[in-house]
Amino acid sequence: MKNKILLILLSSLILLMIINASSTVSYSINYNKENNIQINVEQDPLGDLMEPDWYHKPTNYAQLVSWYQTLEDSYPQYIEVFKANELYETGIATGGYDLYYVRITNEALGLHKPEVLFLGGPHGDETVGTVGMYWFTDWIMSMVFTEETSNEYSDDYLEWILNNREIYFEVIIRVFTTCLF
């Protein structure tokens, strides 16, 4: 008897959920028709908000490294891209890759400042941090060396960071396992 009651209750609950969901869908479809709202399922609802024209994701590791090297060419006194495996004589990484690091600091003021290290892609399926590190580097350099102003930050503070800190990025830890590209 208890099993029958439980079965009836569960069936009723599922039926109520289905009825509720279908009425919601019907309502939204009717609302869209009444208000001449057309939905293009191929169009990204967030559009340019999530992917502005200037933002790109690299297609491979070599391209990401070349982006950093381009920044190094643009800001040679502030950015250095180097192969840590050659510097520390550890050999080529698994898969035949060099392990690139990036240092951001005002090199004219010397080294041996407080340091911070950011790791790119410690897990192969975590790509936001890897690409975000590049765009952060691009952003901080652009903001310090342009006349653009903002209410959220001070150019003087960003320049202070470059003059008084060493920021290190490991471009990607495990290049051979990354799903970035």
Cα distance between residue 168 and residue 101, in whole Å: 7
pLDDT in tens, 79-134: 999 999 888 888 888 788 889 999 999 999 998 999 999 887 777 667 778 888 99
pLDDT in tens, 45-87: 545 555 566 677 888 888 899 999 999 999 999 999 999 988 8
Domain range annotation of the chain:
2-39, 61-177
Q: What is the pTM of this model?
A: 0.67
Q: Which fold, 61-177?
A: Aminopeptidase (3.40.630)
Query: In sequence order, what are the residues at sequence separation of 6 or more whose Cβ sits closer than 8 angstroms to the Cβ of residue 118?
Result: 129, 133, 167, 168, 169, 170
Which helix (H) or strand (E) segment is 118 a member of?
strand 115-119
